[in-house]
Amino acid sequence: MTTQTPAAPIAKGLEGVIAGETAICKVEQDALIYRGYEIADLAANASFEEVAYLLLVGHKPSAGELKAFEDELKADRDIPAMMHDKLREGAKLITDGAAVPMDVLRTGVSVLAHMDADCQDNSADANLRKSKRLLAKIPTIIGHMQNAIDGRDFVEPDSSLSHAANLLWMMTGEKPSAEAVKVMDVSLVLYAEHDYNASTFTCRVIASTLADLHGAVCGGIAALKGPLHGGANEAAMEMLSEIRKDIGPKNDAAKINAWMQQAFADKRKLMGFGHRVYKNGDHRAPILHALGRKAAEARSDEYVKLFELGEAVQNIMETQKHIFPNVDFPCGMTYFTMGIPVPQYTPIFVASRITGWCAHIMEQHANNRIIRPRVSYTGPDLQKWNG
């Protein structure tokens, strides 16, 4: 006799299931809140470092706390010299098509674990120290990786620069403009946290086994890589590039509409649109769109035309399908306008989301119960092996 799994509602993809409690973030139709502060307020008035402190430590920093936090991050930006050759090897794999930057970044974080004296210590103090070190070092991994891909010498971290400015500096070897820093800083704020999204939930599942923080973060990076999650910003930009190639240099409304109708007929998934929670639009998308559009207008008509193409696509999706853009759609256009290589969009996401991941890992470790859901069995009935 087959033992029956207890009957329970099945929510594919865990849609609508409340899987836990958190004091870190609230995602609702009408608001995105980090520890009591709404995202538009943070984007307009807080630096990324302030938001990182808020998420990791749990409260808005005082001026003294912020200065100490910034100094600590700047002092921890260097990575071990033995990682340099690993990053050059990773860059060659990327160039050869055998890997992508997210693979190399995941490996880089794993290597850092072996050289962190706190790696196996899951205490609150040790986890916070590890979180700060990863926050500081991830931009260095990204920058060195991009320098190696471009065939340049590694650019060293600049302690005079903010987290956002240093990230841009390390990738290019050029001091970014104040406008570019502002756009990057706000994008990092917008991407920092988003409750039980796929990568954060992955981190919490791993942490719930009492695995170490580095291991949980590596799982988060692996989950974020997918085009249905963090990789959507890259996929959105690739989609716009495909439309541009197909319709030509002009934003001909009829051609754009024809392209979209064919995509609908083919039941193609258009990246950068739709969200499991935000059915009426992602609160972050218009914030980043406005900043990106302004940056495009300051650069050239080429980038303005990109945003005009994106706006045409967005209008068709909203009016004909009632599907709204998520933050990944304007992110793709914005980072492209800033000259950032498309394959680095998702690693930059990691440079921000590491704060949310680590906050959740620490919260999980502080009040842990292993995450172990049930499943509804649909296989064959019980039978004899030698029957």
| Active-site annotation holder among 275, 283, 289, 360 | 275
| Active-site annotation holder among 118, 185, 212, 328 | 328
71 pLDDT more than 50: yes
108 pLDDT more than 90: yes
Query: Which residues, in sequence order, are CB contacts of 124 under 8 Å at separation 6+?
Result: 362, 365, 366
**Cα pseudo-dihedral 187, 166, 197, 278, rounded to 10:** 0
Residue 275 is a catalytic residue: yes
Type of residue numbered 306: L
Segment 16-60, tens digit of pLDDT: 888 899 999 999 888 899 999 999 999 999 999 999 999 999 999
Residue 194 is a catalytic residue: no
Nearest to 79 by CA among 127, 151, 141: 141
How far is Cα 35 from Cα 187, in angstroms, rounded to an integer?
18
> CATH 1.10.580.10 region(s) of the chain?
27-227+346-366
Signed CA dihedral, 197, 286, 238, 152: sign only:
negative
Quick one: pLDDT band at residue 1, thresholds 50, 70, 90?
A: very low
- How many C-alpha atoms does 165 have within 13 Å on its Cβ side? 16
| Contact call for residues 310 and 330 (beta carbons, < 8 A) | yes
Residue 114 is a catalytic residue: no
What secondary structure letter does DSSP report for 98? S
Indicate the class that CATH gives domain 232-337: mainly alpha
| Contact call for residues 330 and 233 (beta carbons, < 8 A) | no
Give the chain's length: 387
Segment 346-387, tens digit of pLDDT: 999 999 999 999 999 999 999 999 999 988 999 999 999 997
Quick one: pLDDT band at residue 278, thresholds 50, 70, 90?
A: confident
Tokens found for residue 244: 């541009």
240 pLDDT more than 90: yes
Map residue 28 onto helix, strand or coil.
Answer: strand
Q: Which CATH superfamily is domain 27-227+346-366 in?
A: Citrate Synthase, domain 1 (1.10.580.10)
Q: What is the mean pLDDT of residues 205-232?
A: 96
Tokens found for residue 196: 């039980």
Paired strand residues for 33? 26, 38
* N-term to C-term CA, the chain: 15
Paired strand residues for 26? 33
Type of residue numbered 304: V
> CATH 1.10.230.10 region(s) of the chain?
232-337
Segment 123-149, tens digit of pLDDT: 999 999 999 999 999 999 999 999 999
Query: Which residues, in sequence order, are CB contacts of 329 under 8 Å at separation 6+?
Result: 233, 236, 271, 272, 273, 285, 289, 310, 314
Paired strand residues for 38? 33
| Contact call for residues 360 and 204 (beta carbons, < 8 A) | yes
230 pLDDT more than 60: yes
Count CB atoms within 10 A of the CB of residue 179: 14
Percentage of the chain lying above the pLDDT 70 cut:
98
Map residue 7 onto helix, strand or coil.
Answer: coil
